[in-house]
Every structure is written in C-alpha cells, then in structure tokens.
C-alpha cells in the first residue's frame, strides 16, 4: 500500500483529486491499531540497532497544514524510541540570525548525526510554502525581484537532500493531507478543550483565508521535490488512526531497508574476563 502513497518522481500532483479520508489498503480499525502497535515497537527496536551500528541516520520530515497532526504523529509513532536516539526539531518563524543566512542553514545544523533519528516538524520546505504564500511580507527585499526563485530553491533542496543521502542519511518525507473541513473541526475542538486551548493563535483564523494558495504551493512543491532518493508520501490524515498506521509502517520499513546489524565486539577476550 505504501507505494500508492508515494509521489512518483516527475508526476504532477493534484491534491484536489486525493481523498483526505481514504482508508484504501487499511484494515479494520482494531487490526490497524494492532499493526500500528507492532510497527511502533519495531521502530523502537530498530532505532537501538541504528544507534549501535552508528553508520547511518534517518531524517523524517513532516509537513502539512495547521492541525494536520504533526505533533500527534511524533507522540504516537516514536512512543517506544529511546529518547536519546531521536531528536525532534520544530521550526518556527526564523530568528534575526537565521534570516541572515541562506534558507537551508538553520535546518542543516539540525540534521541527525549517524546513529540517530531526526524528525523535522516543518522544515526548510516552509521556504517554498509559507514564504511563497506571503512573499511580500516574508521574502527578503533583495530576493523580491529574482526570477525563477522557487525553481531555484526546489533544485537546491533536491541537491541538499542528495548530499545527505550520499553521506548516509535516509530521508522519508510525509505530507499530512487533511481537508479544510477537518481542519475546522480540529480548531473547534481546541477551542472547547481547556487542555488544548493554549495551541490557538490568531494565525489559525487568518491562514485559512489562504487555503487555496497553500494547496497550490504544496502541489508544486510535492511535484518538484519528490525524488528517487527522497520521495514524498501523501498521507490521508482526516482519520488519525489511518495516518498513524501508514506512517508507522513506512518508518519501520525505512529502518528495515537499511539492513543494519549491531557491530561485533572489537575485543572478544572481554567475553572471557571475570568481573571481580
């Protein structure tokens, strides 16, 4: 089923034609939840092998509209990973220092080292999404008049991800695809839940006015940056349990594909030594 979720390199994405509530290829809820639990446990086990081996790393990128479930994905899918083996980085508005660097700089320094899993909750892709939608406010003046800016950034992103892949970092990218109506329901739930009201911000109301602009930006981004070495997966995310099922399965598969093993003990004589 995972292959059905992958954006084939060179194919054109039309998000309006992709069902955000699809359960295609997903078993009934009880069985799906059991399979998710199994894969979550497997991710925890394979992360330990990844750490012990120390030769590869895994970068997971989560993108999606507000309330698409990025935080919920992190909590659910990495529930059994040793906290020392995974680093989650959430990218907010760039600082003054970050704005003085190239657009990849602030993310490059947080790429996971070998032996670790890194999760980007939003990423450098914001530079071809929110910056594009609000270019008049967020794009530096010296870049305002540059022609082909977005195509140039797509190419730089693809080259950057290939650099990471050549240096041992596997990249798995997820676009959490929800409907505008599902987003509205989740925002209303936040309003009504005292434990979640802190998440509300004025932008939750304002950004909905730009829904179509964001969909257009996402479509082009997904089309231009899904590559053989770092493909995008479009995850139907209206149902949280379906989202978790797909992502846990794909992440577990990515770790299995590394075919890693624990390193052999450098000094076998240590196995025969007595502890006094």
Please state whether the predicted TM-score (pTM) of the whole model is above 0.85.
yes
Alpha helices (runs of H) in the chain, residue ranges in sequence order: 2-5, 29-53, 70-77, 96-99, 105-108, 130-133, 135-138, 149-166, 180-192, 202-206, 211-225, 240-257
CB atoms within 10 A of CB 224: 20
Three-class secondary structure of residue 116 per DSSP: coil
CA dihedral angle for residue 92, residue 61, residue 162, residue 258, rounded to 10 degrees: 140
pLDDT of residue 211: 97
pLDDT of residue 78: 94
pLDDT of residue 45: 96
What is the C-alpha to C-alpha distance for residues 87 and 111, in angstroms, rounded to an integer? 9
pLDDT of residue 142: 84
Q: Structural domains in the chain?
A: 2-259 (3.40.50.300)
Cβ pair 250, 3 in contact under 8 A: no
Give strand pairing partners of 170: 58
What is the C-alpha to C-alpha distance for residues 68 and 197, in angstroms, rounded to an integer? 16
pLDDT of residue 124: 96
Percent helix / strand / coil, the chain, rounded to 5: 55, 10, 35
pLDDT of residue 117: 97
Cβ contacts of 274 within 8 Å, gap of 6 or more: none
Which stretches of 211-262 are assigned E, i.e. beta strand? 232-236
pLDDT, tens digit only, all 276 positions of the chain: 577 899 999 999 999 999 999 999 999 999 999 999 999 999 999 999 999 999 999 999 999 999 999 999 999 999 999 988 899 999 987 788 887 889 999 999 999 999 999 999 999 999 999 999 999 888 888 888 888 999 999 999 999 999 999 999 999 999 999 999 999 999 999 999 999 999 999 999 999 999 999 999 999 999 999 999 999 999 999 999 999 999 999 999 999 999 999 999 999 999 999 998
What is the C-alpha to C-alpha distance for residues 142 and 171, in angstroms, rounded to an integer? 32
pLDDT of residue 1: 54
How would you classify residue 10: left for phi > 0, otherwise alpha for psi between -120 and 50, otherwise beta?
left
CB atoms within 10 A of CB 40: 20
């Amino acid at each position: 089923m995972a292959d059905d979720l992958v954006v084939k390199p060179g194919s054109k994405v039309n998000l309006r034609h992709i069902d955000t509530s699809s359960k295609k290829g997903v078993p009934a809820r009880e069985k799906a939840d059991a399979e998710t639990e199994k894969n979550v446990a497997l991710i925890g086990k394979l992360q330990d092998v990844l750490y012990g081996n120390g030769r590869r790393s895994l970068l997971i990128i989560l993108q999606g509209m507000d309330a698409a479930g990025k935080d919920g994905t992190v909590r659910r899918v990495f529930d059994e990973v040793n906290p020392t083996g995974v680093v989650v980085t959430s990218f907010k508005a760039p600082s003054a220092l970050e704005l003085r660097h190239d657009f990849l700089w602030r993310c490059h320094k947080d790429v996971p080292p070998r032996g670790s899993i890194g999760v980007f909750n939003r990423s450098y892709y914001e530079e071809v999404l929110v910056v594009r939608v609000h270019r008049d406010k967020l794009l530096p003046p010296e870049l305002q008049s540059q022609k082909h800016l977005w195509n140039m950034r797509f190419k730089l992103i693809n080259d950057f991800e290939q650099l990471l892949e050549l240096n041992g970092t596997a990249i798995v990218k997820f676009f959490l695809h929800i409907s505008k109506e599902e987003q509205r329901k989740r925002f209303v739930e936040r309003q009504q839940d005292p434990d979640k009201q802190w998440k509300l911000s004025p932008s939750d109301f304002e950004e909905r006015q730009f829904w179509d602009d964001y969909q257009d930006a996402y479509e082009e981004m997904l089309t231009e940056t899904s590559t053989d070495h770092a493909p995008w997966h479009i995850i139907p995310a209206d149902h949280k349990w379906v989202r978790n099922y797909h992502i846990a399965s794909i992440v577990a598969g990515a770790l299995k594909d590394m075919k890693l093993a624990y390193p052999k003990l450098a000094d076998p004589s240590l196995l025969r030594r007595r502890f006094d």
